[in-house]
Amino acid sequence: MPATVVFQNADHWVLGSWDTGIPWWFLLDLIKAVASFALLVVLTLFNIVYERRAVSWMQMRIGPNRVGPQGMLQSLADGIKLALKEDIVPDNADKVVFWLAPVVSAVPAFLAIAVIPWGPPVSIFHHWTPLQLVDLPIGVLYILAVSSIGIYGVVLAGWSSGSPYPLLGALRSSAQMISYEVAMGLSFAGVFLYAGTMSTTGIVAAQAGGWFVYLIPSAAIYIISMVGETNRAPFDLAEAEGELVGGFHTEYSSLKFALFFLAEYINLVTVSCLAVTMFFGGWRAPWPLSLWSGANSGWYPLIWFLVKLLIFVFVFIWLRGTLPRLRYDQFMSFGWKVLIPISLLWLLVLATARQLHTSNTLDRAHTVWIVIALGAVFLLVLLALEIRERNAIRRAAPDAALLSEYEPTAGGFPVPPMPGQAAPPIQARPQFSRTPVAVLASNGSATEEATPDEQE
C-alpha cells in the first residue's frame, strides 16, 4: 500500500507515520501555484486550437484536423516543432539582452494570475482554502504593475535584435502600453468606487447583489483597452506583417519565439480573467443558475468562471477574424482623443451617482438605473458626435495645398497620406478598343480577331 497523507494536527503535514514538519499552508500554496501554472499552460494549448478552429469556421476553411482527435493536439505539435527548430541569433544583436527579453516577457504573464480568484474557499485535504493564490489589498494595481513589466520584454527584444523592423515594432508596443494603460486604469476607477476596495476578492464579493456590468462605458472601455494591451487584432500594430515583417520578434526562433507566443496567449487569459472578475461577477453563477442555493459554493464556481473566460477568449477570436487592422495614427488617436476623454467624463458621472447613493439621497436600485440611463445617453451622444464628424469630413473638399504637399513616392518608396492630407484621385484605366483587328490566317487570308473584351 502506498503511503498516504494524514493530518494529525493543524500545523504540519504527516506522511504515513513520518511528520514532515512542513506547514500545511505552505504545501497548499505550493499546490495552488503548480495548479495555476498548469492551468495557464493547458489553456494556452487549448486556446491556440480554439482560435484556429473558430477562425476557420468564420472564414469557411477546414482548420487543423490532422494531429490528434479533431486536430486538438495541433498546438502541442507546434510547441514540439518550435523546440526542435534551430536557434538563430543575429550577429549584430546584443546577445545577453536578446536572450533575456523573452524571459522578461513571459514571467510577468504567469505572475499576474496570482491574485485572480477562481472560486470561493473549498476543502483540499480537509483544509479550507480559497481558490486563489494570494489576496492582496491592491490586487488590481498589482496586475497593472506586473503587466506593465511585460512590455519591457517586447521593447528589449526589438532593441537588442539590431534590426530596424523589430525596433519599430518595439516602439509601437511601448506607445500602445502608455496610451491604453491610462484608459484601462480609469475604467477600473468606477469599479473601485462601487466596490469600495481594490482587492479582487472584495470586488467579487461586492457583486453579490448584482454584477458591475451595468457600468456599461467602464466595461466597454476596458474591453477595448485589453485588446490594445495584448497587441491583438485589430490593434496588433507591433507585429503588423505587411509593414514590419513580424514585428518585435522578427529575429527570434525556436524556444525564444515560443516564449513570446506563450506570453501573448497567457496575457489574453489574464486580461479575460480580470474582465470577468471586475465586471461579470467573477466566479458567481449567472442567472438563472444563481437561483440554485449551491451554485456559488464548492467547486461549481470554478466551472462558471471558466465558461465566462472562454466566452471572452471567443470575443478576442471574433475580433481577429472579422476586423481589419487599424492604421497606426488612427490607433493612437483613438486611444488619446476618444478613450481617455470618455473615461474621465464617465468617471465624473459615476462619482456623482456614488455620492448621491452614499448620502442616502437615492437607494441602490435607483442609483443603478440612473447610472444605466446616464451611460446609455452618454454613448448615444458620443455616437451622434462621431456621425457628425464623419459627415463633416465627407462634405469637406480636399485642400489644394494639402494635395500639393503630398508626395506618394517621397523618399523613393510609396507612403500613405498623413492625417489631414488627401491622396490625388486615381486615373481610370483606359478602356479596350472594340474595333475588330484584321489578322492573317495561316492560309494567308484576312480574318477578324475578337476584341479583348469578347475574348474574356
**For 53-80, how does the pLDDT look when each residue is reduced to its tens digit (9 = 90+)?**
999 998 888 888 888 888 889 888 988 9
Confidence of residue 12 (pLDDT cuts 50, 70, 90): low
Q: Is the pLDDT of residue 218 over 80?
A: yes
> Quick one: average pLDDT of 191-200?
90
Q: Count CB neighbours of 224 within 10 A.
A: 20
Position 311 scores a pLDDT of: 94
User: 343-382 b/e with 16+ CB inside 10 Å = b?
Assistant: beebbebbeebbeebeeeebeeeebbebbeebbeebeeee
Burial class (CB in 10 A: 0-12, 13-18, 19+), 56: middle
Using a CB cutoff of 8 Å and minimum separation of 24, what contacts does 118-123 make? 118/283, 118/301, 118/302, 118/305, 119/283, 119/299, 119/301, 119/302, 119/305, 120/283, 120/296, 120/297, 120/301, 122/298, 122/299
Cell of 157: 527584444
446 forms beta bridges with 440
Please check whether residue 120 is in contact with residue 297, taking contact to mean a CB–CB distance below 8 angstroms.
yes
pLDDT at 384: 80
pLDDT above 90: residue 43: yes
Answer whether residue 443 shows pLDDT above 60. Answer: no
pTM: 0.77
**Spatial contact of 183 and 340, defined as CB atoms under 8 Å apart:** yes
Kindly tell me if the per-residue pLDDT of 14 is higher than 70: no
At residue 202, the pLDDT reads 92
Of residues 83 and 401, more confidently modeled: 83
pLDDT (mean) for 113-118:
92
Q: How confident is the model at residue 393 (pLDDT cuts 50, 70, 90)?
A: low
Kindly state the average pLDDT of the residues 119-125: 85
**Mean confidence (pLDDT) of the chain:** 80
Residue 335: predicted pLDDT = 85
Question: d(Cα 265, Cα 270) in Å, to the nearest integer?
Answer: 9
Torsion angle in degrees (nearest 10) through CA of 144, 352, 355, 185: 0
**pLDDT at 62 (0 to 100):** 87
Phi/psi class of residue 21: alpha, beta or left (left: φ > 0; alpha: ψ in -120 to 50)? left
Q: What does each C-alpha distance from 202 to 116, 135, 369 come to in angstroms? A: 11, 9, 23
Query: Does residue 236 register a pLDDT over 90?
Result: no
Main-chain phi, psi angles of 349, to 5 degrees: -65, -45
State residue 131 phi and psi, 5-degree precision.
-80, 65
259 touches 105 (CB < 8 A): yes
Q: Above 70 in pLDDT, residue 81?
A: yes
Q: When comparing pLDDT for 451 and 13, which is higher?
A: 13
What is the structure's pLDDT at 435? 56
Confidence of residue 176 (pLDDT cuts 50, 70, 90): confident
- Asked whether 105 and 260 are in contact (CB, 8 A), the reply is yes
Q: CA Rg, the chain, in Å?
A: 28
Q: Which residue has the cell 462558471?
A: 304
Q: Does 32 or 372 have the greater pLDDT score? A: 32
Pick from 79-88, 328-337, 392-401: least confident: 392-401
